[in-house]
Amino acid sequence: MIVFIVLIIAALATAAWLTLEPSLIRRRRQRLMESAVPVHWEQWIAAHVPLFGRLPADLRKRVLGLTRIFVQEKRFVGCNGLAVTDAMRVVIGFQASLLVVNRPGVPIDHFYDELESVLIYPAAFLVEETHHLGHGLVTKERRALSGQAWEARRMILSWDDIEHRNDTGNVVLHEFAHFLDMENDSMDGAPALQNAPAYARWSVTFWEEYRRLHDDLQAGRPTMLDPYAATEPAEFFAVVTEVFFERPGELLAEHPGLYEQLKGYYRLDPAAWPGPAS
């Protein structure tokens, strides 16, 4: 009888916690959004994220608020001897937050809720990939990567590629675009959209642009998009996300349909932000 009573109490306590927890998370996130961030946060971000200076003041304030939540909730793990600093957390968190800043429900109802940890390597890291060639044939190869959205709960990034940016692009925007692409349980270049008509419009535009990139590369024509975007639809979405935020004017001029789809998805218009894009 005593055991039965204990089990009932435990069940009631669990039910009460499951009911209260979402409310507690919402209140905590609201407090963090409304609290001021340290001045040096903006200095860290400006030093590593060129587009920071172009953000309108109200948008910048909101992204910084989301960054505070991201830094507070996510576990950052240094790999291969890397000591993770607050600056690393803030720089990564800011760019991840920018991608969802205008999404309905963020951050009160959801905000990268499935993501638990961000693993940071000092530089590009090696992964072993297995390829099934058919007829029982399997090959393995090791490949150096700058980032990897390996699964919904973990993100892997190279700090060297974040800190010393070059023409390889923006690894944080790229990998978090992959994360968003996986929200509908498949990484296929089509993130979760509002309804069937939105998917139809997205599909028409993206497949047309994806084929156009393939045709341009095969014909030797110059393209503003990194050839890596032609690898597969998921990489196309991640690469054009980078370009949308970092070279929005060029993307709008050369691929207006693609720009409009991304503008609708991210609910942002970087080409209209003041100042020159990077």
Pairing of strands 75-78, 125-134: unpaired
pTM for the predicted model, two decimal places: 0.85
**Would you state the pLDDT for residue 155?**
95
The overall average pLDDT reported for the chain is: 87
The C-alpha angle 57, 245, 151, rounded to 5 degrees, equals 110
Pairing of strands 147-151, 154-158: antiparallel
**Would you state the pLDDT for residue 20?**
47
Same topology, domains 25-172 and 188-278? Answer is no
Both structure tokens of 229: 């975007």
**Would you state the pLDDT for residue 121?**
95
76, 229, 263, 241: which is closest to 172 by C-alpha? 241
**Would you state the pLDDT for residue 227?**
96
**Would you state the pLDDT for residue 133?**
46
Contacts of 126 (CB under 8 A, 6+ apart): 142, 143, 144, 145
Give yes or no for a contact between 258 and 239, defined as CB atoms under 8 angstroms apart: no
User: What is the domain partition of the chain in residue ranges?
Assistant: 25-172, 188-278
**Which CATH superfamily does the domain covering 188-278 fall into?**
Collagenase (Catalytic Domain) (3.40.390.10)
Q: Within 10 A of 45 (CB to CB), how many other CB atoms are there?
A: 24
Q: Tell me the C-alpha distance between 162 and 37, whole Å.
A: 22
Q: pLDDT, tens digit, for every residue of 72-103?
A: 999 999 999 999 999 999 999 999 999 999 99
Q: pLDDT, tens digit, for every residue of 209-245?
A: 999 999 999 999 999 999 999 999 999 999 999 999 9
**Would you state the pLDDT for residue 67?**
98
**CATH architecture designation of domain 25-172:** Orthogonal Bundle (1.10)
Give yes or no for a contact between 28 and 73, defined as CB atoms under 8 angstroms apart: no
Residue ranges of the chain with per-residue pLDDT less than 50: 6-7, 10-20, 129-142
Contacts of 140 (CB under 8 A, 6+ apart): 128, 129, 130, 131
